[in-house]
Amino acid sequence: MSVVPTLIPRQNPPLPADWEQLYTAVLSDSLDAAGVTNQAMSPRIRPLDEQLKMCGRARTGIYMETAHVDPDVNPYELEIAIVDDLKPGDVVVLACGGSSRIAPWGSLLATATIARGAAGCVTDGFVRDTIEIKHTLKLPVFHGGIAPLDSKGRGQIQAVDVPVICDGVRVVPGDLVFGDADGVVVVPHAIEAEVLRIAFDKINGENHSMRELRAGGFLRDVYAKYGVL
């Protein structure tokens, strides 16, 4: 008989109050300014719906490839446990190690995620049930491809709420995960306050720059004045 895993209780820091003003490009630039240059996922990680933004705290799972399922094993045990334990504002981050055999995310997990009030999902594996997720559920999901493959017999979560490498980016539980039409950026919690300060300052400068450029100002003059591009 399978035993339901007990996950470690935790309390996430609140999300930035004005997070909807943020976008991945400004967060990537701000991470660069803070000296951290490897926290943007590659262009292959794409949103199912480019109109949706996602911001939340990472809940992580790490998969390994498998070739069979023992009769007395529930291959979905940890997958179910982490989804049932989601809190408002969580983002599920599923690291599949570049496997071309695993589609860990579909409409049932997405439905349960919405019911828990969580913010979305990022995986470097595949996603399926895409029409349902995009047009009916409208949950932000960022993925490494689309395929009908079930994870059963192909991959299984080995651990949850541990540091993972997802599409080459290190993600620690509680890190700020942000996604939009340009991709996904992960802000490590240890430098989050600094990165957000830089980001909101840059947004302010960009807003001033945009107004002056629309009024006919020259780019060289506007850049010299505000130092953003």
Check: CB of residue 106 under 8 Å from CB of residue 31: no
- Give the C-alpha distances (Å, rounded to integers) separating 88 from 7, 13, 22, 55, 85: 16, 11, 19, 11, 10
pLDDT of residue 3: 45
pLDDT of residue 8: 62
pLDDT of residue 162: 97
| Structure tokens belonging to residue 48 | 């199912």
3-state secondary structure of 204: helix
Q: Give me the residue spans of the domains in the chain.
A: 19-189
Spans in the chain with pLDDT lower than 50 = 1-3
Any residues with CB less than 8 A from the CB of 210 and at least 6 apart, and which? none
| Rounded Cα–Cα distance for residues 175 and 184 (Å) | 13
Tell me the CATH number of domain 19-189, given options 3.20.20.70, 3.60.70.12, 3.50.30.40, 3.90.1150.10.
Answer: 3.50.30.40
3-state secondary structure of 202: helix
3-state secondary structure of 146: strand
pLDDT of residue 5: 62
